């Protein structure tokens, strides 16, 4: 997600500094910034190092804090790893910007996983009750952002993204970004193993996520708010898989029962409203699901070797 933002910001003539040590097993990939690499400053520092981060972004007006890890299952297997990357990273950024003289705005990448299970469509007023360590830590990190905003001159906007998919996403692991993983399997003419399949997800194409984040950077009404950044569409996993196989023209799928281990943090249908994001950000998702899948398959057909 960060590299998509970087391209969009460069196209808007922003001066961009990227801080990313390309942590093993996550989605950072220099191939993602090849078009703009000469136009941005890239540093491989770690944002948990608040001093170094302050030196790099202490004068910035706008900070997109998208550093973190995004796997629910990994957070359950290694809670400390998740605390490190989702909470300590956030505290590093906050400590780095708290003494800034620029009254910076910080856009925080939260997650729909902060909310847990629901049985009807809900909005941001619904209480958070996460089902995974990841959801808890993302929620806590969001609260740290708002505490710092209260005490220091930092403007915070929290973007609780749903399942974002599209070009540039990592394809080495199945536990982070299920659609991209399935697209890889289809392009390799393998079998896609679907757990359950009836659960409905809200899939948002990356360009729509980027557009919402940019708008959060300029809309003053957004400051101090959190948003579910979602498409508002409900698509069952099985129909998404059928579309992937059809679009790729390769692969096949089988349906299996949901494994016991993963069942514990499975949320069932994702039923979120994007009304608040539409109203406050003047944003609306514009890429239909089929079109997003078509663009993603086309991208990886050409570039798969840079992601596996």
Ligand X SMILES: NC(=O)c1ccc[n+]([C@@H]2O[C@H](COP(=O)([O-])OP(=O)(O)OC[C@H]3O[C@@H](n4cnc5c(N)ncnc54)[C@H](O)[C@@H]3O)[C@@H](O)[C@H]2O)c1
What residues have CB less than 8 Å from 113, skipping those under 6 apart?
72, 130, 131, 132, 134, 135, 138, 267
Cα separations in angstroms, 295 against 54, 200, 251, 286? 38, 22, 18, 14
Q: Does 33 bind ligand X (CB under 6 A)?
A: no
Please work out, in degrees rounded to the nearest 5, the angle formed at the alpha carbon of residue 80 by the alpha carbons of 78 and 82. 75
- Considering the complex, state which of residue 6 and residue 186 has its C-beta at the smaller distance from ligand X: 6
Distance CA 99, CA 152 (A): 8
- Considering the complex, state which of residue 45 and residue 153 has its C-beta at the smaller distance from ligand X: 45
Question: Residue written as tokens 């910001």?
Answer: 9
For the CB of residue 1, give the shortest distance to ligand X in the complex, in Å.
Answer: 3
- Considering the complex, state which of residue 13 and residue 156 has its C-beta at the smaller distance from ligand X: 156
Distance CA 156, CA 222 (A): 8
CA nearest to 165, candidates 130, 122, 210, 131: 210
Distance CA 236, CA 163 (A): 13
For the CB of residue 158, give the shortest distance to ligand X in the complex, in Å.
Answer: 11
- Considering the complex, state which of residue 111 and residue 139 has its C-beta at the smaller distance from ligand X: 111
- Considering the complex, state which of residue 17 and residue 250 has its C-beta at the smaller distance from ligand X: 17
To the nearest 10°, report the CA torsion of 130, 263, 255, 257.
-160
CA nearest to 54, candidates 100, 88, 14, 102: 100
For the CB of residue 109, give the shortest distance to ligand X in the complex, in Å.
Answer: 3
- Considering the complex, state which of residue 109 and residue 297 has its C-beta at the smaller distance from ligand X: 109
Q: Does 23 bind ligand X (CB under 6 A)?
A: yes
Radius of gyration for the alpha carbons in the chain, expressed in angstroms and rounded: 19
- Considering the complex, state which of residue 18 and residue 248 has its C-beta at the smaller distance from ligand X: 18
Q: Does 22 bind ligand X (CB under 6 A)?
A: yes
Figure out which of the listed residues 5, 14, 27, 202 binds ligand X, where binding follows CB under 6 A: 27
Figure out which of the listed residues 17, 21, 153, 304 binds ligand X, where binding follows CB under 6 A: 21
For the CB of residue 245, give the shortest distance to ligand X in the complex, in Å.
Answer: 21
Window 62 to 81, contacts with ligand X (CB under 6 A): 66-68, 70
Figure out which of the listed residues 5, 7, 20, 226 binds ligand X, where binding follows CB under 6 A: 20
Distance CA 128, CA 80 (A): 21
Each residue 152-181 as x (binds ligand X by CB under 6 A) or -, in order, gives ---------x-xx-----x------x----
Tokens in use for 161?
């993204």
Window 241 to 280, contacts with ligand X (CB under 6 A): none
Window 90 to 119, contacts with ligand X (CB under 6 A): 109, 111
Specify the stretch interacting with ligand X by CB under 6 A; choose among 15-23, 218-226, 230-238, 272-280.
15-23
Cα separations in angstroms, 161 against 29, 42, 171? 21, 25, 19
Query: Which positions lie near ligand X, rule CB under 6 A?
Result: 1-2, 19-23, 26-28, 46-48, 66-68, 70, 85, 89, 109, 111, 161, 163-164, 170, 177
């Amino acid at each position: 997600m960060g590299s998509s933002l970087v391209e969009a910001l460069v196209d808007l003539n922003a001066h961009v500094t990227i801080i990313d040590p390309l942590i093993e097993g996550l989605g950072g990939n220099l191939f993602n910034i090849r078009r703009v690499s000469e136009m941005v400053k890239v540093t491989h520092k770690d944002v948990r190092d608040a001093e170094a981060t302050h030196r790099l972004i202490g004068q910035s007006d706008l900070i997109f804090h998208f550093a973190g890890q995004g796997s629910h299952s990994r957070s359950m297997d290694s809670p400390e790893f998740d605390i490190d990357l989702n909470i300590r990273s956030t505290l590093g950024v906050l400590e780095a910007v708290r003494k800034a003289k620029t009254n910076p705005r910080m856009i925080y990448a939260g997650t729909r996983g902060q909310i847990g299970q629901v049985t009807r469509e809900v909005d941001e007023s619904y209480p958070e009750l996460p089902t995974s360590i990841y959801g808890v830590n993302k929620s806590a990190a969001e609260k740290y952002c708002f505490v710092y905003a209260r005490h220091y001159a930092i403007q915070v906007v929290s973007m609780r993204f749903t399942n974002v998919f599209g070009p540039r996403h990592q394809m080495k692991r199945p536990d982070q970004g299920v659609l991209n993983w399935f697209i890889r399997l289809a392009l390799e003419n393998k079998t896609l193993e679907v757990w359950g399949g009836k659960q409905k997800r809200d899939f948002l194409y990356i360009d729509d996520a980027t557009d919402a984040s940019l708008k959060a950077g300029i809309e003053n009404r957004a400051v101090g708010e959190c948003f579910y950044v979602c498409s508002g569409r409900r698509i069952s996993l099985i129909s998404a898989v059928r579309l992937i196989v059809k679009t790729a023209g390769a692969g096949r799928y089988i349906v299996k029962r949901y494994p016991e281990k993963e069942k514990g943090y499975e949320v069932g249908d994702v039923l979120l409203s994007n009304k608040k994001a539409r109203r406050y950000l003047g944003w609306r998702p514009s890429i239909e699901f089929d079109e997003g899948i078509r663009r993603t398959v086309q991208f990886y057909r050409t570039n798969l070797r840079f992601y596996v």
